Structure 1
């Protein structure tokens, strides 16, 4: 076997891991680890380390790269600055803890950035520039791909679509803002609003199913959430003028027939602007987009290192 790369997608409710053969870029195995709201960060790291150790023991080639995407904002050292869906993790030195548990260095990214690169590199049939990728799951994120790489912004914090204000008089978000899109259009928001309305649900999926079966309260919650999501995406389209928009994430993968309606709504909101016919499609890679993004970034890092080594040898 050739050397392998491990990709990790750390979302608001689970950690998904995949191991790829770096030589032929094929997926060897994947694992999903459920993470409850009360899961401690060290506990999560230990579970991830156990999976990686098991993979390495059962293959001939070594794991040369580990890339991970976090749904929370982290700094250059790999310490989590703020994670609205996991506030207890704020201040946790994720990279340091991971390296200590596994003995391996970690390339750390925003999860939406990884998903965008996965879709750009392995999902699209041809390169699209600019590409706006939107992820809708436990939370909401986005990323803009420009000339084959994600635009990160001056502070590495671009793409926070879930924290744009859609209701200036709305409730306080864990991020510190008010009326954030994530409070009304994410999976967790749909679940929370349905429970507040007294619906017999435990997950956001239950709300979608109730809506499909004619429950009016559930239908209104879904309708309002999708409309606010469409408004948020339309505003991003106005700002960045992408060639196309790809929408992915856990909620989209489970209920694609509902989220396909976003294209017409977004185009309607854009009115007569030049972007009014922007193409809006659902992710080809689905829940696996961030995992394939880890492979894309990992291969990119390996390529950079190889070129640096060639430069040293040629001097």
Structure 2
């Protein structure tokens, strides 16, 4: 069959699988809760793959929330799914036609391949439970250079906030999903998910709105640092927090602009992804020829 590529996005809470053809999702997206251990992972994945009738020629692309060695396909570090640490997917599934990539890298590759952005210099920031990032400069991305992009762990303040990585004052301690929920609860808001927090802000809850806006400058510092350092002029926001971009777009634009080199202010863009839920699935198979 012509359509022989499957993208598999492994998230901290959900596992998503879909057929991909011509850089677009070509089937229903099958979604399951992310398994708790490697045996369950292998079992659930094979149940899904067998249900959609893969064959020996089907190519599988994986997107994972961790550090990937693109030279050998190993998942070197996956903090939220530790059972994947050190795993090589080819060996795990005993299939040669497998590729794996970092989720933010694959999201950016999905954006580029779906929207024909191969001639642009672009960054991506994934605003979810944590904060991931990637970049594509002079026709090269991390999946080619085997380099790492971790904007979530840029130090943006000196307030002594402890990050899950062990460091202090990383961007994640201010504008990630886990941090915003923690701050919201300390402010007396009864929320369990970042969607609830942004819904409150959307409905004019002043505590929620103030909490979000007071943390925007930290995100602005990080994004402006990415632009100042690399010279890119477009940053794509993805992840569940980016769904609410209209609530903080103006504040973020101003924060980024205020911290940019004067030359970089002329034509920079910070835009919301058009493929928020799908880009990592598409990007996971984009390297297959």
TM-score by length of structure 1 reads 0.80
Q: What is the Cα deviation at residue 108 of structure 1?
A: 0.9
* Aligned residue number for residue 13 of structure 2: 13
Change (3 A) 1:226 1:15: farther
- 2:99 aligns with 107
The answer on whether the counterparts of 1:120 and 1:148 sit within 8 Å (CA) in structure 2 is: no
Measured against aligned partners, the alpha-carbon deviations of 1:226-266 in whole angstroms (never above 9, x if no partner) come to 221121101111101103111112221x3131253323331
Shift of 1:3: 4.1
Return 5+ residue gaps in structure 2 as ranges. Answer: none
Cα offset for 1:79? Answer: 4.5
Q: CA deviation at 1:25?
A: 5.7
Q: Is the 8 A contact 1:6 1:63 kept in 2?
A: no
- For 1:238 and 1:250, the matched residues in 2 are separated by 26
- The equivalent of 2:187 in structure 1 is 197
Contact 1:82 1:175 in 2 (8 A): no
Partner of 1:85: 80
**Partner residue of 2:37?**
40
Shift of 1:146: 2.3
Is structure 2 residue 60 aligned with structure 1 residue 66? Answer: yes
State the match for 2:150 in structure 1. Answer: 160
Shift of 1:56: 1.6
Shift of 1:50: 1.5
CA contact (8 A) 2:24 2:282 kept: no
Distance 2:114 2:12 in 1: 24
Residue of structure 1 equivalent to 2:137:
146
Report deviation, 1:195: 2.2
**Displacement after TM superposition at 1:78 (Å):** 4.5
Report the aligned-residue RMSD.
2.7
**Partner Cα separation in structure 2 for residue 175 and residue 157 of structure 1:** 19
- Greater relative contact order (Cα 8 A, min sep 6): structure 1 or 2? 2
Q: 2 CA distance for matches of 1:145 and 1:191?
A: 31
Q: Write the distance in 2 (CA, Å) between the matches of 1:84 and 1:179.
A: 18
CA contact (8 A) 1:116 1:133 kept: yes
Question: Are 1:257 and 2:246 counterparts?
Answer: yes
Asked if the contact 1:4–1:62 (Cα under 8 Å) also holds between the matched residues in 2, the reply is: no
Query: Given the superposition, is the C-alpha separation of residues 78 and 197 from structure 1 closer, same or farther in structure 2, using an over 3 Å criterion?
Result: farther
**CA distance in 2 between partners of 1:163 and 1:238 (Å):** 17
What's the counterpart of residue 2 of structure 2?
A: 2
Point out where structure 1 has 5 or more consecutive residues left out of the alignment.
303-315
Distance 1:202 1:9 in 2: 23
Aligned: 1:118 with 2:133: no
Q: Tell me by how many angstroms 1:94 deviates.
A: 5.0
Among residues 217, 235, 238, which one is paired with 2:225 in the alignment? 235
Query: How has the CA–CA distance of structure 1 residues 81 and 170 changed in structure 2, closer, same or farther, with 3 Å as cutoff?
Result: farther
